[in-house]
Amino acid sequence: GEQVEQRPPHLSVPEGDSAVIICTYTDSATAYFYWYKQEPGAGLQLLMSVFSNVDRKEEQGLTVLLNKKDKQLSLNLTAAHPGDSAVYFCAVTQGGSAKLIFGEGTKLTVSS
Amino acid sequence: GGIITQTPKFLIGQEGQKLTLKCQQNFNHDTMYWYRQDSGKGLRLIYYSITENDLQKGDLSEGYDASREKKSSFSLTVTSAQKNEMAVFLCASSIENAEQFFGPGTRLTVL
């Protein structure tokens, strides 16, 4: 079945720098892609969703790139600030089902 | 907007105990999910339900039961808690195959 690898597991950047998180998936038929943010002690907050016919999506300082040829999904936080410190997860749908397959998460620390 | 409520927020149990976690959503979503999150790991699907009284097994269903009593609520039962088990259980809901919205989680500790 579908597998998702996420890297890096930990990422530290100074305030104002960009942070990039990458996920690699295996099923070329994957249709929907998501990025979630989890702050300490909280559930997952949806950041962005992308359908497979989109290569690039930008919203509020976040850029998601989808490279279907390499089966790679990335999240770029431009000009990160300390409030962005959290764990970030990518997730993809498995086939045509409702099931999401999650990456293992990236703990981002933004220092001021 | 809507909200997902999970109770209890913290759950402490004894080895072998049967423990029940509850989830309520007011999005009017058809599909609800239960995930387990272990420290430093991603989420693994335990059960999901696409409508009232429906149940579908996820990748981690062994050791758990679930019940979709009505559209707005989905319960998860740990059938026999394992000693030293610690995890966060996250409930989510969605419309069909669209993006999932998550509750704040129930933190389980087994003594």
Q: Give DSSP secondary structure letters for A34-70.
A: EEEEE-TTS-EEEEEEEETT-SEEEETTEEEEEETTT
Distance from CA of B30 to the nearest CA of A (A): 11
CA of A43 vs chain B CAs: smallest distance (Å): 4
pLDDT tens digits for range A32-91: 999 999 998 889 999 999 998 899 999 999 999 999 999 999 999 999 999 999 999 999
Q: Give pLDDT tens digits for B26-44.
A: 999 999 999 999 987 789 9
Beta bridge partners of A112: none
- Chain B interface, best mutation among A21, A44, A88, by max B CB count within 10 A: A44
- Neighboring chain A residues of B7 at a CB cutoff of 8 Å: none
Q: Does A42 touch chain B (CB under 8 A)?
A: yes
Burial of A112 (0-12, 13-18, 19+ CB in 10 A): exposed
In this complex, the residue of A45, A99, A105 whose CB is nearest that of residue B42 is: A105
pLDDT recorded at residue B78? 97
Q: In this predicted model, which residue has the larger pLDDT, B58 or A29?
A: B58
A46: closest chain B residue by CA: B101
What pLDDT does B83 receive? 87
Rounded Cα gap, residues B52 and A61, in angstroms: 39
Q: In this predicted structure, what is the pLDDT of residue A73?
A: 96
* pLDDT band, very low/low/confident/very high, at A95 (cuts 50, 70, 90): low
DSSP assignment letter at B40: T
Q: CB of A92 within 8 A of CB of A3?
A: no
The pLDDT of residue A96: 66
Token pair listed for A71? 């089966």
